[in-house]
Structure 1
Amino acid sequence: MIESQNNPKKMMWITLAMMAFSTVWSFGNVVNGFVYFDGAKVVFSWILMFLLYFVPYALMVGELGSVFKSSGGGVSSWVNATMGPKWAYYAGWTYWACHVVYISSKGTGGLRAMAWGIFTNTKWYDSLPTAWTQFATLAVFLFFCWVASRGIPVLKNLATVAGTSMFIMSILFIVMMFAAPLINPHAGYYNINWNWKSFLPTFNVKYLTSLSILVFAVGGCEKISPYVNKVKNPSKNFPKAMITLAIMVMVSAILGTFAMAMMFDPKVVNAHMNEYISNGPYIAFQRLGDYYHVNSLFVYIYAWCNVIGQFSTLVLSIDAPLRMLLGSKEAKDYIPKKLLKVNKHGAFINGIWMVVILSGALIVVQALLPDAQSVMAQLIKLNSTTMPLRYLWVFIAFIALRKQKDKFEDKNNYQMTHHQGLAYTAGWWCFIVTLACCILGIYSPDPLTLFLNVATPVILVALGLILPTIKKHQDKKLA
């Protein structure tokens, strides 16, 4: 950690910006933007998303983190302080429920990464019947549920190492791709049309129903909120760090898109959509290796880093959100007692069984899809429409905080703006954009995908509403 010379206990704003960058951004975001938004045409959308959504979102997180610095930055604790314990339970449930889909995608992503790491392609894996690949995914998922129930902490450290290495490779990809024409000028690169019209998207149904991909890509900066007051002069330096973060992410997205445009023809990508959604990062690193005459070296490194990252994140995603939900103060009042059972390893064993049933059911249902590539594409889309729902509580907590401004006012706390009208506008704008993108993202021309996109959030929301009713009924019986 870089430290200020004047105050060794405070970090410099550039340190916070780098921490946030590695938390929010990844190479997969660049690939997904390029694939879903017709190549370089995504540049226009990235710029709008950063300026009109990401910057106000990050600054709101800064204010919430500053006001509730002793809470550790949890969204549920922000909602609890501003709206009360019942709403905090719903916020915690939303955060956990969103991970049900995310968990099922990690097993799929890990097996695909293994196929690339072993064979440097997925021809054999993708040729298998979907029922077989989903059975393998289910077996992997159940194994790591068992690992989570044993409280084994080693994978947490592996997740950090894998995440850091993937971040470094994402930056190296951009640098090495732009250097490739100088080293190997005759490798056959695509020319980028620099006419501004070539960057303007086509505003159609596909565009509107894919916006959730971009919202999902830039979300998650609330994870850095505990560090707001660890920055020297936060009221001045935190917004500076967030604006720097937005610039770094925007530059990375745009340069990464240009690097992809030198490699791939959007017409070919559109003609083989599921293949590039599932394998885009690996194909990109394979071509980069060809340009540098190292064959599949980059693919091996990227794939095995991804294997470790996917499987370690799978365990963390089973364990951490469950602990946040069932270990909270609100859990005893709104969740049936049986779900709060802890085994000798300190894991919420019945909560893990709930994960097994819900995520396992999703894995089994996806066996009806035509192939493994379709499963991966469906999971990415489903994640993009469910995971951003947890961001809604950030904006709800911010609006509630500003409504009670006098109660929480402290001259030492950072504020994104002193103007109440502007603060409300920012909060409601980000809330509406997030909700609209999630709803629009539900649409799919494929009937099964559309069914899963509708049924998954409905079932999870219904379950979140039913549990407090069950708890209330149990309390009446005991009274």
Structure 2
Amino acid sequence: MKNQLDTQPVEKKMSWYTLALMAFTAVWGFGNVINGFSEYNGLKAIVAWIIIFALYFVPYALMVGELGSAFKDAEGGVSSWIMQTIGPRMAYYAGWTYWVVHMPYISQKPNSVMIASSWAIFQDARISDMNPLVMQFAGLAIFLVALALASRGLSILKKLASVAGMASFVMSILYILLMMAAPAITGAKTLQIDWSLQTFMPTFDLKFFTGLSILIFAVGGCEKLSPYVNRMKNPSKDFSTGMIALAVMVCVCAVLGTIAMGMMFDSNNIPKDLMTNGAYYAFATLGEYYHVGNVFVIAFALTNAISQFTVMILSIDAPLCILLGSADKEYIPKSLFVQNKYGAYTKGHKMVLVIVGILIVVPAFGIGSVDELVRWLVKVNSVCMPLRYLWVFVAYIALKKAGNAFPSAYHFVKNKTVGIIFGAWCFIVTAIACIGGIYSDEPFELILNILTPVVLVLLGFIMPYIAKHQNARDLS
């Protein structure tokens, strides 16, 4: 007779390379290459990417590993870390920040859906000639459809988002491989790259530093990987190995992707609509090289349209569930916890509707072209989204200050002071990047860049007072 313990299921442990590959698909995307190439004058983006990976991304990812290991049973992510290291009020602010920075992100998605759909149908850049006001109101209609679907809690959307996202990711990697191989396989006449230092060395001026927010926005989000730390075969070794492997893979893809773009686009004459249409230009040209017509661009456009639409729906619901699912009702009005029969937070969705609706409509009245609108949306997201990363570093600093109060199977650094310095470094870099990203030559865009993060964050300070008033009224 077998021992009863022998019949117990054994949890399958994750290897470092499995973690690295899984993280790679979650963190990286082809749009990051396009944005970096556009913002940093083509091939000069390579040095900027390497700097960000070495001085920011690697320590950031490894800090997340230690936090995930120390709080392995915490389900609320960053807000749970703050709850245990600092307290409930700061945990609420962390949760609010995580949720509210998704509002500009959601407002960007309808444009992405329309651009991808236009390329799938017409295979050209006519979307850039569209009136921004018309585009934004059409985008508002798309957002309303997404909001209606989110309120019905359609679980199939998660699977669809995963499949479409993976397809877009695979095509992005294929672009790099096929583009690099095109001259040898098809004899394609690509641009000749001057491999001198001058070609790759950026100018460390104001533009360089105000553009860092776009790169930090691109590499952020590692905190999503924290639950996997304690599923590793050897957490103290394998997680750090996996994160370093992730950093290497992302860095290699950023560098090779930028070189591939440099073989197709002149770094000294970058198209003004590159952020809008760059990915589609790339796949259209690749189709010409391989004599397959518009097959590549249509396939990428279709998968990207589906991916962007489903991500928009999930971004409406998932961050809200995280905020309300782990929130202290002392800080959030109880009316926001009302759910419909599908489990969706109806009042929360109305709040999303108001905020995102404003973010979609207002810019169209002051930004004169679709290309400029797309560029602004990327920029404002690069200012707002990294604000949530700040709480990761706050949590890490608090963890190191707590000493041995929270045991961890994995340590980025064991020395308390060194750990605090690393946390402070990443916090300062993120904060400076966000502040620098606000700058714009256009007064209207500058005002929006200032007001958007300030108003979104300040809304979080209002909620506890509303909750306090409602709770007091209920007790009276």
Question: What TM-score do you get using the length of structure 1 for normalisation?
Answer: 0.95
CA distances 1:382-411 after superposition (whole Å, capped 9, x unpaired): 11110011000100000001111221135x
C-alpha distance in 2 between matches for 1:370 and 1:153: 39
SS of structure 2 residue aligned to 1:298? helix
Look up the match of 2:35: 32
User: What is the aligned partner in structure 2 of residue 438 from structure 1?
Assistant: 434
Which whole-Å CA distance do the structure 2 matches of 1:34 and 1:67 have between them? 38
Q: How high is the TM-score relative to the length of structure 2?
A: 0.96
Match of 2:396 in 1: 398
> Which 4+ stretches in 1 moved above 4 angstroms?
none
The answer on whether the counterparts of 2:76 and 2:326 sit within 8 Å (CA) in structure 1 is no
Query: CA-to-partner distance for each residue in 1:266-302, whole Å, 9 max, x for gaps?
Result: 2221xx32x1011111111111111101111110010
Once the two structures are TM-superposed, the CA of residue 475 in structure 1 deviates from its matched residue by 2.2
Give distance in 1, aligned partners of 2:178 and 2:397: 44
1:105 equivalenced with 2:103 (yes/no): no
Match of 1:159 in 2: 161
Q: Distance in 1 between matches of 2:296 and 2:161?
A: 20
- Code of the residue aligned with 2:299 in structure 1: it is I
Other-structure match for 2:417:
421
Quote how far apart the aligned CAs of 1:73 are: 6.2
Contact 2:128/2:276 (CA < 8 Å) preserved in 1?
A: no
State which of 325, 328, 341 in structure 2 corresponds to 1:327: 325
What residue identity is the alignment partner of 1:132? V
Aligned to 1:360: 357
Q: Which residue of 1 aligns with 2:269?
A: 268
Deviation at 1:184, TM superposition (A): 2.5
Q: Does 1:475 align with 2:471?
A: yes
Q: State the one-letter code of the partner of 2:231.
A: K
> How much does 1:377 deviate?
1.1
- Match for residue 140 of structure 1? 142
C-alpha distance in 1 between matches for 2:269 and 2:147 = 39
Residue of structure 2 in register with 1:234 after alignment: 235
Per the alignment, residue 298 of structure 2 pairs with 300
CA distance in 2, matches of 1:225, 1:157: 22
Deviation at 1:477, TM superposition (A): 2.6
Aligned-partner residue type, residue 372 of structure 2: S
**Equivalent residues of 2:403, 2:416 under 8 A apart:** no
Question: Would you say the 8 A contact 1:78–1:397 is kept in 2?
Answer: yes
Q: Secondary structure at the match of 1:69?
A: coil
Task: Report the Cα distance in structure 2 between the residues aligned to 1:141 and 1:17, rounded to whole angstroms.
Answer: 33
Q: Secondary structure at the match of 2:254?
A: helix
2:177 is equivalent to residue 211 of structure 1: no
Matched to 1:193, the amino acid is D
Q: Which runs of no fewer than 5 residues in structure 2 stay unpaired? A: 1-9
> RMSD in angstroms over aligned alpha carbons?
1.2
Residues 1:114 and 2:112 aligned together: no
CA drift at 1:8: 6.6
Matched residues in 2 for 1:128 and 1:256: separation? 29
Further displaced range: 296-305 or 468-477: 468-477
Q: Which amino acid aligns with 2:175?
A: F
Deviations 1:194-228 (A, max 9, x none): 11232110122221111101101111111111111
Distance 2:115 2:83 in 1: 40
> 1:235–1:414: 8 Å Cα contact kept in structure 2?
yes
SS of residue in 1 equivalent to 2:341? coil
Measure the CA separation in 1 of the matches of 2:411 and 2:214.
29
Q: Which amino acid aligns with 2:132?
A: T
SS of equivalent to 2:330: helix
Quick check: 1:92–1:325 contact (8 Å CA) kept in 2?
yes
**Contact 1:65–1:73 at 8 Å: present in 2 too?**
no
Q: Quick check: 333-342 or 439-448, which moved more?
A: 333-342
Counterpart residue type for residue 68 of structure 2: G
1:341 and 2:338 are equivalent in the alignment: yes
Find the aligned partners of 2:243 and 2:411 in 1 and give their Cα distance: 13
How far has the Cα of 1:353 moved from its partner? 0.5
In structure 1, the residue matched to 2:63 is 60
Corresponding residue of 1:184 = 186
Residue 74 of structure 1 pairs with residue 56 of structure 2: no
How far is 1:328 from its partner?
1.7
Cα distance in 1 for residues equivalent to 2:200 and 2:370:
32
- In 1, Cα distance between equivalents of 2:142 and 2:57: 35
Give the aligned partner of residue 90 of structure 2. 87
Partner of residue 3, structure 1: none
**CA shift for structure 1 position 478:** 2.9
The CA deviation at 1:309 is 0.4
Q: Is the CA contact 1:278–1:373 (under 8 Å) kept in the aligned structure 2?
A: yes
Deviations 1:299-339 (A, max 9, x none): 00100000110000000000001111122242x11111222
Distance 2:410 2:75 in 1: 16
Q: Which runs of 5+ in 1 are unaligned?
A: 1-6
- The answer to which of 356-365 and 202-211 deviates more is 202-211
Partner of 2:197 in structure 1?
196
2: distance between equivalents of 1:416 and 1:284? 39
Displacement of 1:236: 1.1
1:22 is matched with: 25
Deviations along 1:218-244, one digit per CA (max 9) or x if unpaired, are: 111111111111111110111111111
In structure 2, what residue type is equivalent to 1:445?
D
CA–CA distance in 1 between the matches of 2:395 and 2:439? Answer: 29
Distance 1:43 1:50 in 2: 11
Distance 1:121 1:382 in 2: 26
Q: In 2, distance between residues paired with 1:310 and 1:452?
A: 24
Which residue number in structure 1 is paired with residue 6 of structure 2? Answer: none
Amino acid at match of 2:301: A
Counterpart code for 1:310: Q
- Deviation for aligned residue 1:351: 0.5
Find the residue that maps to 1:10 and give its secondary structure.
coil
> 1:277 and 1:466, CA in 2 relative to 1: closer, same or farther beyond 3 A?
same
- Distance, in Å, in 1 between the alignment partners of 2:424 and 2:446 is 28
Question: Aligned partners of 2:41, 2:371: CA distance in 1, in Å?
Answer: 19
Taking every aligned residue pair, what percent have the same amino acid on both sides? 52
Deviation at 1:452, TM superposition (A): 1.0
